[in-house]
Structure 1
């Protein structure tokens, strides 16, 4: 490996290190809290036309509390509010806030009037000849017409009669996982033809307090429209302000055949999904007067003559972004790009297959820690042919170190002479100095892809390995402060200065494994480079100590397997490494330099 290639690797590694340090030490600032004014009726907004005011359906709920209908499925628990016929209370049975067994289960949707209200609702926009009182709105008192609780195979039907010839119905169905089906119907028993348009809406009050706010993760509005995915954070939606002067939302997308939109968190998502092939208008906006973010699906106008009826069905996904579940919905229901609700990142072409393999392996092992190690073995096996040539080249380069040092001494400051003699040496010995760089360069996108998988996929959330390692998505819980897990208290909290000092078992093993792995490589001829490479394992040990333990586990496994591969290949090809001799020799040189 010549100095030019070594400089490339060094620059890449240092750039990677700088990025890690910067975003850990200086994370993006938290969104500034907004000043929320007293809630106002949309009709009070000057200049807002009725067609836009009524459709959002975000007026404050009436003081009178109506009965609720229970939602009770194997994976969800909550209620439907008969006031407005909205789903505004929903929790996930399978997920808890922390790894404690008695921790509260995760609550996804919350009623209006509570902290961080978040809910889904449906309605109709009146056309010519109708006004807003003639169609059900956000405060309409619905009556329970069928069913007593919503469960798989047990639908619930609500009804409301406007007293003027129109009877509206709303049918709720739910499956075994996280998908609701909502059918809105209208029966015209009057004497005139009516025009009205159905809509569905997801409303979120304020920026969620549990926002991760990390640069590699998207949280906020997400929308798929005819194959195009759009992701806007809450700060970006600030530009989609409801115009009090014009009364129109700022972001409107016409969807021809297939789309969906809503809000996504790191692990959870709530999205409206019109049926495949159904055109609709996707609307996203921010209402600053009430600090409310909204996504809405406006469906085409229905024309209903006397004695006729109309019905339209939309779906609502409200639950965990589980890869297998979302993938099945995409395939079975024809929901275009639904799997991309998981934030796969720039290296999606690596991230997706890496996670698919990890998921498959874990199906056999049922332990994410061991599955990560097996995945690392599989990746190294795939790269073995390339690694073989690379490590043979590096072994030859290591044997050429004395001759290279002699050339450098003869050439002195004559760079042209140095390069010419080095090239001649490589030709004579049939060595390709660039071959040793390829595995390292290939490892960088694989590392980022696996980090993305560990960081964003819910399968790693609260996933145990063994002993004290009960959550592979969290930093190493061991440290010197708790005698590496022997004492009954935790490690320093992530983000604190102590967390960078009192690191755990896994970061220490990372530094040691990286140190031994680097000792098999030829030492740099440049003293500055040699110093940087010597310190690199220990710098990475402290920097990565606050990262997800699953990621650190991968790097340890990668270092150990790489060391074993390289050692075996060098031994097999006759380039037997004197590992401990190199270490002792390096220690003697440092001691001699210190004595001087």
Structure 2
């Protein structure tokens, strides 16, 4: 492999390392969010086929609607929600699901820390809620259909719980009686059945809709590997839109706001996803609807909508439509079960990333290992062993080639001495030596190239999947999704002071036990590899283990654990193969060679 190819591979690997380190240590700055008063919307007139969603609030009216909605919600009665997974309430002002917390998840590892809060009512900071209604059509006016602040009455049921639905009712006083029946399972799925009874002597046209609104941009991680924002499936096509991109959507005149409208013909869903949590509207699969993602700049509202086809209700008849609402944690098993129950490709709501063909099977294997072992840390170690076994046939030739390269090291040194500064002559003699000994120096790069996509995929799995959140391993490692909390700066807890705060320069220097083990394992592995012929490359590779140690030191403990295990297994495999091929690695002898190289460089400089 000539210098040009070596430099290309080296540049590729180092670029990957630098990018990973840069984005982790210096993520994009979060823009401080000003508290925008919550704004509410009402529906405009319906078209012939699909109900339009509420238009954007105009600047001159926003404050009035905000105050009216906040006052209505604050004064309205509520229906309690009590399930094994959820706690919260439904406001009778608009019949909105707007107060929801997750029973089985807390903000921190402290068992007394607050529950994770998902939905919040209008009028509170970062309002986030689901709202349903009907858009008027034909001769109907806005005040004849239920909207954002309609004063619903509870017609039946008590507390909303699994197997105990509640029904809301509202009579518009002009011959139309609206009902809304809400049920919930023991996980995170609500079913909302909207019905309208026509007691007039004329046919009425109107269209149901559901929407999920977020007031103000939520606090997100803003990390390149993670998607937070709109997620939707439209006839088998997945789309993701980050919050920062929504104001840049094309302004649709009918929407009076930046929006993207997709007409779904068969099946789909739309909502907002956070790192671990999600709120998603799911119309009946197999039916058409309009999927809308939009941003209302005058009120700073991010909104997703499912607009259902207009229905005609004949005199004396009742029409109803049922949709679902997922509001909860992105548990793999739970979402998989909902997909099996008919929600099209719902498992893709989890952010598997570009390497989904690797992240999906890796997580599947990790999940089932955890089910058997019962500890996520040991499951990661066993997973690494399985991956090493699967990749061993490909790696064997590489390790054998490295052993041969090590044997040729003395001959290569002689060639460098004979060639001196004549790099062309050195390359020609090197290539002749490789050809004579039937050695392919590029084969040694194969393990690195194989490990990069696996490393990135496992990092994605550990970073985005809920199952790694607050998962303990041993002793001080109580959260494999977080960095190693130990620190060399306080001798790993022996000295009476704490560790530096995350994000400070001292946090980078505050190496824990796992990062130090990572650096040592990389150094040991490197000592088995043939040194590059170029002195500059030798120096770069000599520093790489310690650069990695600092750069990966603040990565998730689960990822560092994988890397340590992988390096250790690679060292054992490579050492054994080299011994079998007649080469006896001298690890500490290589250290002496390193000092000799530095002395030679110093002497040449003098």
More displaced stretch, 478-487 vs 72-81 = 478-487
Match of residue 437 from structure 1: 445
Residue 84 in structure 1 maps to residue 78 in structure 2: no
Q: State the alpha-carbon separation in 1 of the partners of residues 177 and 250 from structure 2.
A: 35
Query: What do residues 19-45 of structure 1 show as CA deviations (whole Å, max 9, x unaligned)?
Result: 133223432132353584x666757xx
Answer whether contact 2:70 2:123 (CA < 8 A) is retained.
no
Query: What do residues 359-412 of structure 1 show as CA deviations (whole Å, max 9, x unaligned)?
Result: 111111121111111111111111111111110110000110111222233344
Query: What do residues 208-239 of structure 1 show as CA deviations (whole Å, max 9, x unaligned)?
Result: 13x10111111111121111111111111112
The 1:362/1:310 distance shift into structure 2, 3 A limit, reads: same
What secondary structure is seen at the aligned counterpart in 2 of 1:112?
Answer: coil
Q: State the alpha-carbon separation in 2 of the partners of residues 458 and 537 from structure 1.
A: 30
Residue 450 in structure 1 maps to residue 469 in structure 2: no
1:584 to 586, 592, 598: 592
More displaced stretch, 500-509 vs 196-205 = 500-509
Match of residue 505 from structure 1: 513
Residue 262 in structure 1 maps to residue 271 in structure 2: yes
Q: CA deviation at 1:67?
A: 1.7
Q: State the alpha-carbon separation in 1 of the partners of residues 411 and 366 from structure 2.
A: 45
Residue 465 in structure 1 maps to residue 473 in structure 2: yes
Match of residue 151 from structure 1: 161
Residue 563 in structure 1 maps to residue 563 in structure 2: no
Q: State the alpha-carbon separation in 2 of the partners of residues 250 and 514 from structure 1.
A: 49
More displaced stretch, 480-489 vs 221-230 = 480-489
Residue 352 in structure 1 maps to residue 360 in structure 2: yes
1:341 to 349, 362, 368: 349
2:484 to 476, 495, 502: 476
Answer whether contact 2:488 2:510 (CA < 8 A) is retained.
yes
What secondary structure is seen at the aligned counterpart in 1 of 2:248?
Answer: coil
More displaced stretch, 60-69 vs 251-260 = 60-69
More displaced stretch, 170-179 vs 324-333 = 324-333
TM-score normalised by L of structure 2: 0.92
Residue 166 in structure 1 maps to residue 176 in structure 2: yes
Match of residue 19 from structure 2: 19
Residue 371 in structure 1 maps to residue 371 in structure 2: no
Match of residue 314 from structure 1: 323
What secondary structure is seen at the aligned counterpart in 2 of 1:466?
Answer: coil
Match of residue 130 from structure 1: 140
Answer whether contact 2:247 2:258 (CA < 8 A) is retained.
no
Q: State the alpha-carbon separation in 2 of the partners of residues 478 and 183 from structure 1.
A: 52
TM-score normalised by L of structure 1: 0.94
Q: State the alpha-carbon separation in 1 of the partners of residues 598 and 425 from structure 2.
A: 30
Q: State the alpha-carbon separation in 1 of the partners of residues 578 and 299 from structure 2.
A: 68
Match of residue 309 from structure 2: 300
Answer whether contact 1:477 1:485 (CA < 8 A) is retained.
no
What secondary structure is seen at the aligned counterpart in 2 of 1:530?
Answer: helix
Answer whether contact 1:351 1:452 (CA < 8 A) is retained.
yes
More displaced stretch, 100-109 vs 548-557 = 548-557
Query: What do residues 297-329 of structure 1 show as CA deviations (whole Å, max 9, x unaligned)?
Result: 110001110111111011101011111111221
Answer whether contact 2:41 2:55 (CA < 8 A) is retained.
no
Q: CA deviation at 1:243?
A: 6.9
Residue 98 in structure 1 maps to residue 108 in structure 2: yes
Match of residue 392 from structure 2: 384
Q: State the alpha-carbon separation in 2 of the partners of residues 75 and 192 from structure 1.
A: 45
More displaced stretch, 156-165 vs 93-102 = 156-165
Query: What do residues 195-217 of structure 1 show as CA deviations (whole Å, max 9, x unaligned)?
Result: 010000101000113x1011111
Q: CA deviation at 1:189?
A: 1.5
Query: What do residues 54-79 of structure 1 show as CA deviations (whole Å, max 9, x unaligned)?
Result: 57899542635222111111111111
Q: State the alpha-carbon separation in 2 of the partners of residues 316 and 41 from structure 1.
A: 20
Q: CA deviation at 1:564?
A: 0.6
Answer whether contact 1:368 1:460 (CA < 8 A) is retained.
yes
Match of residue 361 from structure 1: 369
Match of residue 220 from structure 1: 229
For residues 280-295 of structure 1, the aligned pairs below 5 Å read 280-295=289-304
Residue 75 in structure 1 maps to residue 107 in structure 2: no
Q: CA deviation at 1:248?
A: 5.9
What secondary structure is seen at the aligned counterpart in 1 of 2:238?
Answer: strand
Answer whether contact 2:153 2:169 (CA < 8 A) is retained.
yes
Q: CA deviation at 1:420?
A: 3.3
Residue 191 in structure 1 maps to residue 201 in structure 2: yes
1:330 to 313, 333, 339: 339
Answer whether contact 2:257 2:296 (CA < 8 A) is retained.
no
More displaced stretch, 519-528 vs 120-129 = 519-528
Match of residue 49 from structure 2: none
More displaced stretch, 566-575 vs 301-310 = 566-575
What secondary structure is seen at the aligned counterpart in 2 of 1:478?
Answer: coil
Answer whether contact 1:242 1:288 (CA < 8 A) is retained.
no
Residue 234 in structure 1 maps to residue 243 in structure 2: yes
Match of residue 397 from structure 1: 405
More displaced stretch, 350-359 vs 581-590 = 581-590
What root-mean-square deviation, in Å, do the aligned CA atoms of Structure 1 and Structure 2 show?
2.3
The 1:488/1:148 distance shift into structure 2, 3 A limit, reads: farther
What secondary structure is seen at the aligned counterpart in 1 of 2:553?
Answer: helix
Match of residue 149 from structure 2: 139
Q: CA deviation at 1:467?
A: 1.0
Unaligned runs of 5+ residues in structure 2 are: 47-51
Match of residue 256 from structure 2: 247
The 1:233/1:40 distance shift into structure 2, 3 A limit, reads: closer
Answer whether contact 1:225 1:259 (CA < 8 A) is retained.
yes
